[in-house]
């Protein structure tokens, strides 16, 4: 029965549409409470139905009202208790032994002008004053008993309430509607299709719970990657897709030799000043360099060579030995190109993404450290056209296809180009990187063959990350003020989107 009532209700709802539980109770000739119980069980199965609580006002007969409906009103019964020829008033008490009936009936019948008392004789005589009466109160009680209270005037109902013939009651019920998962069967829907269901064919009869593609899933109880790491992963993916190999960048401390001298950056260059570079005090110097290469570097700075006139100053090893926090990852590229030349040159594509340090004035977009993304391609007879082509390919993968190049200067590249990209969101051209072809003064002392050209470019990881994640102040991205909730909430990075 339990299940049947639930299914019967669902089928009824399916047939008639939105329906009040009170009407359901009438339809199934069942107690309303039972219907409510069945609806609760249906709701426990999921969103088969939805309910809306409603209240109804209703009139009910009291016990006395029921007597009136059956036997007539007090006043009518008083009227009929009087014999047509009249009778002594005291006999009325005999005919109407009920005290309440007697007193209420007498006064109401008098008020209606149905009866009168004749006091002209020896004893008061009570008489019917009209030949017939219509007992409206009884009629009304019957209407109310048949749930037709709306046909009875409001004033009259209030009057009957005062006479304690009727009670006003508030009934609570529910409007039942079909829910998102409406069905007329109450068997629990399956959540999994098993091999057994397939082999015995029972899947055909079963109902299956539909997938909730909006479900958020359980929050992962684990660490979360910082936006810089997410963007780094994207850059790494792009480089790997383009066939690049990652360079080992695991040394924040570098000698001036590899950071500057190998890159043909003169020893008087302002970038080598303590105002721009963090020098290391302990250990202050690196002493160990490939001797003959060091000689060639010294020579190219002081006297020139390989068709270059050099800078013509007195190159000092003491300056090259100074340790520092590397100011760019191009120091790593220099080490790698030197190594490549020693091993016997072959064309390569290298990249690196790691931290560099500069003694900068700190502001909303600059810290004393940031991450550099660097790409290096070494091959025979590369041209500036190759550099532009590779940059176009690389930045297209980052979602930047409108590029412009502006001549620039680096001590180690010639020609050099700053790279600008039009940012659709911000509606302006933005500098996105720096690039160039490494100078022969850098490559030839290493032993890179003469027909080989090396093109390279670099950009910061922070700038695209800030744009991508809408962060305006670098301190919100790096450092002690970073909101860990931001790290937790930041979405995965898809650079081309
Ligand atoms: N090292 C340059 C910088 O720090 C970037 C760069 C790399 C430029 C390679 C040209 C070639 O900005």
Ordered DSSP codes for 396-452: HHTT---EEEEEEEETTEEEEEEEEEEETTTTEEEEEEEEEEE-HHHHHHHT--TTE
Judge if the beta carbon of residue 410 lies within 6 A of ligand 1: yes
Neighbours of 142 (CB within 10 A): 14
Strand intervals (E) in 194-283: 245-246, 253-255
Q: Which of 88, 445, 49 is nearest to 262 (CA)?
A: 445
Judge if the beta carbon of residue 330 lies within 6 A of ligand 1: yes
Weakly modelled stretches of the chain, pLDDT under 50: 1
Pocket test for ligand 1, best of 434, 439, 455 (most atoms within 8 A of CB): 434
Inter-residue contact 494 to 232 (CB < 8 Å)? no
Judge if the beta carbon of residue 435 lies within 6 A of ligand 1: yes
Residue ranges of alpha helices (H) inside 260-381 are 291-302, 317-321, 330-343
Judge if the beta carbon of residue 413 lies within 6 A of ligand 1: yes
Measured in angstroms, how far is the CA atom of residue 149 from the centroid of ligand 1? 92
Q: What is the pLDDT of residues 248-287, one digit of tens each?
A: 999 999 999 999 999 999 999 988 988 899 999 999 999 9
How far is Cα 278 from Cα 257, in angstroms, rounded to an integer? 15
Measured in angstroms, how far is the CA atom of residue 487 from the centroid of ligand 1? 29
Domain 228-489: which topology? BirA Bifunctional Protein; domain 2 (3.30.930)
Judge if the beta carbon of residue 441 lies within 6 A of ligand 1: no
pTM: 0.61
Residue ranges of alpha helices (H) inside 44-178 are 63-71, 74-81, 89-95, 99-112, 136-145, 154-162
Q: What is the pLDDT of residue 437?
A: 98
Pocket test for ligand 1, best of 326, 371, 374 (most atoms within 8 A of CB): 374
Q: What is the pLDDT of residue 497?
A: 66
Q: What is the pLDDT of residue 1?
A: 41
């Amino acid at each position: 029965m339990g299940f049947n009532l639930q299914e019967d209700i669902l089928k009824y709802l399916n047939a008639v549409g939105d329906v009040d539980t009170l009407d359901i109770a009438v339809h199934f000739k069942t107690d309303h409470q039972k219907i409510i119980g069945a609806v609760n069980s249906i709701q426990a199965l999921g969103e088969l139905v939805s309910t809306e609580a409603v209240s109804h006002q209703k009139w009910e007969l009291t016990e006395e009202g029921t007597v009136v409906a059956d036997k007539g009103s007090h006043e009518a019964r008083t009227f009929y208790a009087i014999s047509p020829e009249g009778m002594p008033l005291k006999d009325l008490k005999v005919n109407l032994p009920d005290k309440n009936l007697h007193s209420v009936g007498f006064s109401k019948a008098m008020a209606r002008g149905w009866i009168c008392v004749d006091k002209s004789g020896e004893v008061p005589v009570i008489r019917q004053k009209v030949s017939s009466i219509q007992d409206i109160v009884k009629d009304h009680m019957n209407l109310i008993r048949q749930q037709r209270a709306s046909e009875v005037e409001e004033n009259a109902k209030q009057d009957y309430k005062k006479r304690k013939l009727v009670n006003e009651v508030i009934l609570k019920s529910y409007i039942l509607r079909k829910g998102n998962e409406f069905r007329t069967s109450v068997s629990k829907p399956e959540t999994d299709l098993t091999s057994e269901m397939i082999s015995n064919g029972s899947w055909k009869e079963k109902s299956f719970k539909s997938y909730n593609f909006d479900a958020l899933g359980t929050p992962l109880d684990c660490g979360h990657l910082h936006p810089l790491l997410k963007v780094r992963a994207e850059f790494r993916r792009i480089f790997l897709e383009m066939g690049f190999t990652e360079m080992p960048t695991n040394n924040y401390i570098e000698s001036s030799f590899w950071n500057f001298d190998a890159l043909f950056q003169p020893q008087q260059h302002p970038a080598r000043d303590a105002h721009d570079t963090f020098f290391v005090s302990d250990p202050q110097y690196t002493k160990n360099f490939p001797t003959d290469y060091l000689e060639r570097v010294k020579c190219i700075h002081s006297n020139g060579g390989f068709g270059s006139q050099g800078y013509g100053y007195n190159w000092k090893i003491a300056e090259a030995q100074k340790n520092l926090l590397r100011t760019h990852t191009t120091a790593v590229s220099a080490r790698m190109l030197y190594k490549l030349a020693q091993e016997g040159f072959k064309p390569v594509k290298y990249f690196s993404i790691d931290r560099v340090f500069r003694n900068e004035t700190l502001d909303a977009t600059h810290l004393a450290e940031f991450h550099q993304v660097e790409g290096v391609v070494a091959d025979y007879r590369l041209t500036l056209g190759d550099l532009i082509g590779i940059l176009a390919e690389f930045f297209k993968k980052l979602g930047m296809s409108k590029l412009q190049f502006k001549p620039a200067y680096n001590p180690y590249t010639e020609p050099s180009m700053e790279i600008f990209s039009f940012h659709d969101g911000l509606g302006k051209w933005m500098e996105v990187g720096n690039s160039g072809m490494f100078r022969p003064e850098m490559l030839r002392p290493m032993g890179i063959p003469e027909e080989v050209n090396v093109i390279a470019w670099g950009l910061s990881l922070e700038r695209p990350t800030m744009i991508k994640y809408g962060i305006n102040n670098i301190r919100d991205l790096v450092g002690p003020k970073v909101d860990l909730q931001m790290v937790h909430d930041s979405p995965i990075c898809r650079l081309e989107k």
